[in-house]
Chain A
Amino acid sequence: MSENTKREITYLEAVREAMVQEMRRNPEVFLIGEDIGVYGGAFGVSKGMLEEFGPERVRETPISEEGIAGAAVGAALMGMRPIMEIMFMDFATLAMDQLVNQAAKMRFMLGGAVSVPMVCRAPAGSGTGAAAQHSQCLEAWFVHTPGIKVVSPSNAYDAKGLLISSIRDNNPVFFIEHKLLYRTKASVPEEVYAIPFGKAKVVREGSDLTLLSYSIMVPRALEAAAKLAEEGIQVEVVDLCSLKPLDTETIVQSVSKTGRVLIVHEAPVTGGFGGELAAVIAESEAFDYLDAPIRRLAGRNIPIPYNRTLERASVPQVEDIEKAARALAREGR
């Protein structure tokens, strides 16, 4: 093992490193968004990039989300590889026409004559006290839109590798970051590496129950699984990494093995991506191996509240996952 692989950096630094390395490698890659220059981005992701790449390629914009998205779509149509930053995933609503009607449909609508190689990066999630309009997880909207790919890394290592793949992909990719993960650290190699889409990871093996998750819920699931192991309950934790394309094979294999599945995400349960996962499992051969109902643990059907206690109670926490997993693992045993 080289020194590099032992290097620990934060999720935020990993995102930056992916952008910096790709921008050094390919002059067609550029970053566009609000306050990404001197300010370094609302969360500091692009700190220092203006100095290295200048205002042309670290392109600060007016507060115009639709304009930013349109600029990214137009530049991508011309063969450039823009990375657009939406300051909070909630603000994607302002760019919806460009993302959903333009970027996603352009290739199909023109019979394959064009491609739109762009990345839309945005931090999602609650836990910062930012309340209802700065805390949402809106992945289901984009998963539901043919033409867009959706990835949602749970750790610094995956963040770097998946962002590099996103930039190199020839399609619009929604790259969902999580605010609470920005400060988490992982061992991240300094060299450039790409993690292919559509590959889920079994991040903890277990025999009693499969826990499917992504983004912030993966570290929470791992914490819960460690506690349950002390009680003799062996939870297998699967990190989906990319939601679209989805690695159904790994999901079906794991659920077939354990016979039980708990799906955990932060977004509200109703209409959430968990419903899709449940359907994928129920329609697959894993159905025949199910020894308990498929269960979802997800955000409550409410806007994210401001108050710390209320905010915590609105999305799954470690103890909620632990409780739900324990109950499901014991059902009928």
Chain B
Amino acid sequence: MATEIIMPKVDMVMETGTFVEWLRAEGEQVEKGQPLFVIMTDKSAIEIEAPASGILSQISARPDDVIPVTQTIGYILAPGEKAPDRTPQPAIAGYGSEAQPETLSQTATVTAAELAPIPSGELRGKVRATPVARRMAAQLRVDLAHVQGRGPRGRVHKADVLSAVEQPAPAATELPAVERTTSPLNLPAPVQALTGLAIPLPNARQKRIVPLAGPRKIIAERLAYSAAAAPHITLTASVDMTEATRLRSMTLKKLEEKTGYRVSFTAIIARVVTSALANHPFLNASLAGDQIIVWEDVHLGIAANVADYLVVPVIREAQSKDLEGIVIALGDLLERARAKKLTPAEMNGSTFTISNMGMYGIESFTAIINPPESAILAVGSIVDTFVKVEQTMLEKPLMKLTICADHRIVDGVAAANFLNEVKNKLENPYFLI
């Protein structure tokens, strides 16, 4: 009777074994108990004895195959006997020569729970209150932000809520400060409906199936949400980069020596955008429910393509950084992004995003807003273009800037004003030094 030779389980935690070598050749007579083949476990190489006497046949395991335990790797047959039919069993997926095509999960440090958090940095807007004070405030419709807490560091206790009910606070004239929340934004119904839409697939031969997971899944969810929920307006302007280019070459050497990083156009644009945002609050804002939160901080996201996927490292509090500070922060983030050493926190919580595709030869493009932001600046390549200047055609390095903004909170004129300020500053950039 044919005896199966299997990859044996020789260890409590063993799931696969690496085949090392056959100690006997196919077709040879082997005796039960004789060493037959060698496998490698995570502990050591071990010899496995023949489970029966007979002729070694139908061997399928080859050196370095990673084989699940109990899988048949050959037979021991009586003379003249034929091996039973069997379907070939591949080495376990994820091992061996063909690596999984997509390795997104290796970098999947971003989890769904971190989807679109409201940026941090506004703890001053956070209300300290005890659980019972919060519960009572909700029941009595008291805004905790207007309750004077008598506890340590202004913590609101039950007694504070009760006295606030007795002496109502004056009505708020400005937008009330809101609590920081880390819970994801709720997707509106139309977006949820989209995900359930059954669109028939084409009748075509499939090459491979890549699971939608990790960062790719998060990107998909965020951008689908943004495209569906935020009505985008798009405005484009051409910027004469003559002076900015000159400024860059003037400062390049000095800054590189000082910071260790090259000064990129992205860094210069980032510095200009940050300074312009101070004058255009609704482009550095978030829509949360029925509130528009205007951010004091500019946490500037810089979209970058690293190892075939999109990352948006964030320069925190960019408004407090000069050009040198931006160069250092950006240089460091991109360096670590390439080394896949960014933490999820460093790729989250931006209030405005710049996406520069100039280095890919793209002249201009529109972008999808990175929620919960209100706008994104799409930067094209610098192209030498003839323009008419005072009756003469001059060759100028022009760059197209496109601002895509959430029309719910950014008016067309507001977006235009912002874009013009960025343009003016880039054309007269010497305030930067």
Contact = CB atoms under 8 A, between A and B. Distances in A.
A–B: direct contact at CB < 8 Å: yes
Interface of A: 259, 287-293, 331-333
* Interface of A: prevailing SS: loop
Contacts of A291: 130-133, 157-158
A332 B160 contact: yes
A333 B149 CA distance: 10
B135 interface: yes
B396 interface: no
Contact of B155 (A259, A288, A289, A332): A332
Given A259-B158, A332-B160, A289 B132 contact: yes
Nearest to A333: B159
Given A288-B135, A333-B157, 14 more contacts: A259-B132, A288-B131, A289-B131, A290-B130, A291-B158, A292-B151, A293-B130, A331-B152, A331-B157, A332-B155, A332-B157, A332-B158, A332-B160, A333-B159
A333 B163 CA distance: 11
B254 interface: no
Interface in B136-180: 149-152, 155-160
Contact of A287 (B131, B149, B159): B131
B158 A331 contact: no
Of the listed residues B149, B152, B158, B160, the one surrounded by the most CB atoms of chain A closer than 10 A to its CB is: B158
A290 B132 contact: yes
A259 B162 CA distance: 15
Contacts of A288: 131-132, 135
Contacts of A290: 130-132
Interface in B85-135: 130-133, 135
10 tightest CB-CB pairs across the interface, nearest first? A332-B157, A332-B151, A291-B158, A290-B131, A291-B132, A291-B130, A289-B132, A288-B135, A332-B150, A291-B157
30 contacts: A259-B130, A259-B158, A287-B131, A288-B131, A288-B135, A289-B131, A289-B132, A290-B130, A290-B132, A291-B130, A291-B131, A291-B132, A291-B133, A291-B157, A291-B158, A292-B151, A292-B157, A293-B130, A331-B151, A331-B152, A331-B157, A332-B149, A332-B155, A332-B156, A332-B157, A332-B158, A332-B159, A333-B150, A333-B157, A333-B159
A326 B159 CA distance: 17
A293 B132 CA distance: 11
Contacts of A293: 130
B329 to A, nearest CB: 37
